[in-house]
Copies of this chain bind each other. A is one copy, B any other.
Amino acid sequence: MGTTARRSIWAWGLESEEPSKADRKAEAKRMAEEYGTVVDPPPLPTIDRVDIRAPRIQAPDALATICSHDKHDRAAHAYGRSYPDKLRAFQGDFRNAPDLVAYPSSEAEVTAVLEWCSDNGYAAIPYGGGSSVVDGVNPPEGYDGIVTIDLTRLDQVLEIDESSRAARIQAGVLGPALEAQLKPHGYTLRHFPQSFEFSSLGGWIVTRSGGHYATNHTHIDDFVESVRMVTPRGVWESRRLPGSGAGPSPDRLVIGSEGILGIVTEAWMRIQKRPRFRASAGVRFPDWAAGYEGTRQVVQAKLWPANLRLLDPAEAQKGSGLDGKQSLLIIGFESAEVPQGAFIQEAVAIARAAGGQIDDDAIVVDDGTGKPTGRGGNVGAWRDWFIRAPYAKNTQVGLGLIADTFETAITWDRFPEFDAAVRTAMTDILQRVCGGGEIACRFTHVYPDGPAPYYTYAGFGTPGAELEQWNMIKAAGSDAVMNAGGTITHHHAVGRMHRPWYDAQRPDLFAGALREAKRSLDPNGVLNPGVLIDP
């Protein structure tokens, strides 16, 4: 009943893209060489061997045609795609799968499903592309019925306003389908999170998603012109405006609400002309500190590059073959209207003055002729790699490797101490849990007042005990981030996973205000219970 190409019940992507036995054997062999441990890949789960309890509820007649009790549909909607999600799904643990999955294809159907849930006290879980890595779509315990509302049939670009460069778009559309509908008109939303293939516009809005563009307008927050949201109390719709000073922004309460206030059905989004002019440069710095100091100076000049990604020595070595001491700053400019050569020269001049090195002929400028920019491929190629990356991890599930990422943001003044504290905490916990491991960092987004560091780590755990081990590492990393003054999430969202740290981060009085606001919209407390605040 879902899409024609079936999603894997455990891996990132479609069933047809699941790794083969041979892929996994090869990966196990590679891992054995790297970590000195022999692992027999456990068998891949199949839907036939999965146990799911019988559905506890039945859709009323009026909704029967849009609701599915199908075992595969239910299993495929039981988890997001975090490390523990994939592991639990791989292990065949579907004990709390939704009782049914609803596939509304109109706002009226969303309303009807939500009313049914609210009237009966069933947990209603809004579901876009299912790419949450924070338990944002995982059904909570303690409900007599769980209805996951899959919004992917709301997948149309309804209207394009070329004059204002804005489009009215249904919230369930996934990234590729959204871009495919804008492209013939010469436009792009230009929002490319790593989850792009399997995340939706509505999901981006309610999780304050960050695209892969690095400075100025990066969060989806800045591209929302107005939103329309269905709640158990009716429709919430803001006026379409380029800017306003009329009270606190209603949109900013919806943005980041993670499905607890309502279900976004459509939004007017600011779109852009597809870029024609590009420029890029990779600047090497002698070490990590020189790299982040140089990055600070470039971003504070407010040239607003599309990309400004700093790789630490570990990442720069792995990704670009540097010497393991140098850091690498990737600078990219893009525009539909204006040649970017002058901009990149200014940015490179600042980076060089801060100790960065790059040969003149390594600064690549595409003045509209389509010349590829950047060494080893243009921005598009990088984007493709970036979006394909989650597939690589599918082969590793259940082999004992504990590898994950976490992301945050911190002001520049505190970053050096923050970074040291996080690395120390992670090195310690990886030592304790895995007997050692690796940690690396890059800046995914950069603001004039601070970077958004993105940490990746890996250690070899005990096959079968990875979940518990991952939990210990996650807790240690999150504690370090919070104690050193960062945010528990810059763009992965809060969900249920980040609750303990989020609860410490947000003002208590804000939590109280949000709880009351939710109560006024969702009096029976059915919308995504446990996310952001307690039910």
Contact = CB atoms under 8 A, between A and B. Distances in A.
A507 B237 contact: yes
Contacts of A219: 243, 245
A240 B451 CA distance: 13
17 contacts: A161-B411, A163-B296, A164-B411, A165-B448, A209-B245, A219-B245, A241-B450, A242-B447, A242-B448, A243-B447, A244-B489, A245-B492, A246-B498, A253-B253, A270-B448, A513-B521, A516-B517
Contacts of A235: 509
Nearest to A447: B242
B250 A507 contact: yes
A259 B381 CA distance: 50
A216 to B, nearest CB: 7
Given A164-B411, A244-B489, 4 more contacts: A225-B449, A246-B489, A247-B514, A250-B510
A253 B246 contact: no
A338 interface: yes
A306 B234 CA distance: 41
Nearest to A446: B242
Interface in A496-520: 498, 502, 505-510, 512-517, 519-520
B243 A249 contact: no
Contact of A253 (B166, B218, B452, B513): B513
Nearest to A303: B338
A405 B173 CA distance: 43
Given A164-B413, A338-B303, A248 B447 contact: no
Interface stretch (A88-96, A100-108, A117-125, A480-488): A480-488
Given A304-B304, A412-B163, A516-B520, A245 B238 contact: no
A273 B486 CA distance: 25
A402 interface: no
Contacts of A516: 513, 516-517, 519-520
Interface string A185-229: 000000000000000000000011110000010110000010000
A223 to B, nearest CB: 10
Given A270-B449, A448-B270, A516-B516, A490 B244 contact: yes
A348 to B, nearest CB: 12
Interface residues of A, number: 94
A231 interface: yes
A383 to B, nearest CB: 20
A410 B445 CA distance: 30
A337 interface: yes
A399 to B, nearest CB: 31
A58 interface: no
A409 B244 contact: yes
Report the copy number of this chain in the oligomer: 2
Interface in A268-285: 270, 273
A378 B62 CA distance: 68
A426 interface: no
Interface in A243-270: 243-250, 252-258, 261, 270
B521 A451 contact: no
A301 B338 contact: yes
Contacts of A183: none
A494 interface: yes
B506 A243 contact: no
A114 to B, nearest CB: 14
Contacts of A410: 241-242
A481 to B, nearest CB: 11
Nearest to A510: B250
A161 B219 CA distance: 24
B510 A253 contact: yes
A241 B161 contact: no
A300 interface: yes
A371 interface: no
A30 interface: no
Contacts of A256: 245-249
A233 interface: yes
Contacts of A509: 231, 233-236, 520-521
Contacts of A498: 246
Given A164-B412, A510-B236, A244 B296 contact: no
Contacts of A21: none
A502 B300 CA distance: 37
